[in-house]
Amino acid sequence: MRVCARVPTLPAPTARGRMQPLKGFRDFFPQDLAHLRWIQSAWHSAAKLAGFEEWDGPVLEPLKLFTDKSGDEIAGQLYAFEDKGERPVALRPEMTPTLVRMLSARAGALPKPIKWYSVAQFFRYEQPQHGRGREFFQWNVDVVGSPHPAADAEVIAVAVEALRRLGLSDEDLRVRISDRGALAAFLVALEVPEELHLSVFECIDKLERDPAATRRLTEILGESRAAELLCACDQFPLSRAERLGVVLEACRDWGLGACLEPDLRIVRGLAYYTGTVFEIFARGAKLRAVAGGGRYDRLMSDMGGPPLEAVGFGMGDMVLSLLLAERGLEAPPGMRLEVLVIGTDASMLSPAREVVRELRSRGVASETAYAPVRVSKALRSASNQGVPRVVLVGPDEWAERKVVVRELSSGQQRTVHLSELD
């Protein structure tokens, strides 16, 4: 019986006394996991509130799924190996290839638009650093099968909603947004030949990080056109970005007006996106990018799947955690127990369990000690753990199926019948 195997495959003590997790991987002690669950819960809530359905795929996939388009940065970071059946496989570094595969199989049967989200773990062999591990969780939200600007706005609104739920206010958020179509149209207006567009995109993408990008832009475009483009970067030519205007308008309907920052510098690297592109920044010690995404209308058909347009974003847990920590934002204190039931002497162990059973049947998280304990010690333990209420089960009251309920904050107590417990 496999599910039940709890087999003694145990490491001998190492030289250092105990083993460590792999570099870049995390042990989640209950407090750490409560923090992660808090973030994930904001992700789930924001998505479900907007009518997105959760999906997931395998953590391990055929290597081919991730490498068929060669030359990727991600391909060099794959946890790839051969399984015992000599299949090349890899731990997933991202979700989109799996999304495309799954939608290719079923998209025809699904009503459009398809609104899907996932909260999944990913693996990349990179140099671990502050805010970057070799595993991380990421929230992906996608609308598939709608070309409309309002879909772009809705995914942005969903991303912001999750951040608000975690305690960030609109003043701390910036949605930097552009449209690759508008940038391309601008280049056409500058009479930049189409074969140069991609190199120009690359330069613009790097403007903020790479001082050489401005020089390269001038080399490609010549001085005057480069200057005009840089000027447009400083002041977004919204009048020439009609579709983006509609996206922004819809974003304002979602209450995002204060956060919006049209910015031609947002390109998002690679050739994937076809229209709207955006990055969401939030203020911690400094402004950090916590999410990014855009429209990728040609992906499905490029794969030989159904010709469905799509727009979506990803938001990871690590940079977000860093930022929340900097802001002093943390999970509301969890309560392991609502009630501790204390048998006042050794004969009360079994009645105390009966009381706990009654409480649990009413949905109250409760427990009692496995062996007799002194009442004073149990009370101290309850108080140390922040348990708000104890129930004392003593022989005299129990003779009448009664117990004493004590609120630890006030010390107030009352004697009630088991049937009246709540």
Q: For the segment 260-319, give every residue that binds a second copy (CB under 8 A).
A: 268-273, 279, 289-294, 296, 299, 302-305, 312-316, 318-319
149-168: contacts with a second copy (CB under 8 A): 149-151, 154, 161
Judged by beta carbon, residue 70 or residue 412, the one nearer a second copy is 70
Among 35, 39, 42, 116, binds a second copy (CB under 8 A): 116
Residue span 324-363 as binding mask against a second copy, x where in contact by CB under 8 A, dash where not? ------------xx-----------xx--xx--x--x--x
Residue spans of alpha helices (H) in 119-241: 149-165, 180-189, 194-206, 212-221, 223-234
Q: Does 25 bind a second copy (CB under 8 A)?
A: yes
Q: How far is the CB of 85 from a second copy (least distance, A)?
A: 8
66 CB contacts (<8 Å, ≥6 apart)?
Answer: 72, 74, 75, 78, 90, 92, 93, 94, 97
CB atoms < 10 A from the CB of 49, how many? 12
- With contact defined as beta carbons under 8 Å apart, do 126 and 134 qualify? yes
167-226: contacts with a second copy (CB under 8 A): none
Q: How many residues bind a second copy (CB under 8 A)?
A: 145
Q: Which string of b and e fits 18-33 if b means at least 16 CB within 10 Å? A: eeeeeebebeeeeeee
Q: Does 258 bind a second copy (CB under 8 A)?
A: no
Burial tier of 130 (Cβ tally within 10 Å: 0-12, 13-18, 19+): exposed
Among 40, 41, 128, 132, binds a second copy (CB under 8 A): 132
How far lies 240's CA from each of 179, 188, 296, in Å?
A: 11, 12, 21
Q: How far is the CB of 219 from a second copy (least distance, A)?
A: 26
331 CB contacts (<8 Å, ≥6 apart)?
Answer: 34, 35, 37, 38
Judged by beta carbon, residue 238 or residue 246, the one nearer a second copy is 246
Radius of gyration of the chain (CA): 28
**Looking at 81-89, 189-197, 226-234, 397-405, which segment touches a second copy (CB under 8 A)?**
81-89
- With contact defined as beta carbons under 8 Å apart, do 108 and 45 qualify? no
Q: How far is the CB of 198 from a second copy (least distance, A)?
A: 13
CA pair distance 59, 75, nearest whole angstrom: 16
Judged by beta carbon, residue 15 or residue 193, the one nearer a second copy is 15
**Looking at 106-114, 178-186, 393-401, 413-421, which segment touches a second copy (CB under 8 A)?**
106-114
184: tokens are 């391309």
41: tokens are 């819960």
Q: Does 30 bind a second copy (CB under 8 A)?
A: yes
Nearest of 71, 41, 300, 290 to residue 165 by alpha carbon? 41
Judged by beta carbon, residue 138 or residue 200, the one nearer a second copy is 138
Q: How far is the CB of 133 from a second copy (least distance, A)?
A: 10
Among 41, 381, 383, 415, binds a second copy (CB under 8 A): 381
CB atoms < 10 A from the CB of 103, how many? 24
Q: How far is the CB of 294 from a second copy (least distance, A)?
A: 8
31-60: contacts with a second copy (CB under 8 A): 33-34, 37, 48-51, 53-60
Q: How far is the CB of 409 from a second copy (least distance, A)?
A: 19
Q: Does 16 bind a second copy (CB under 8 A)?
A: no
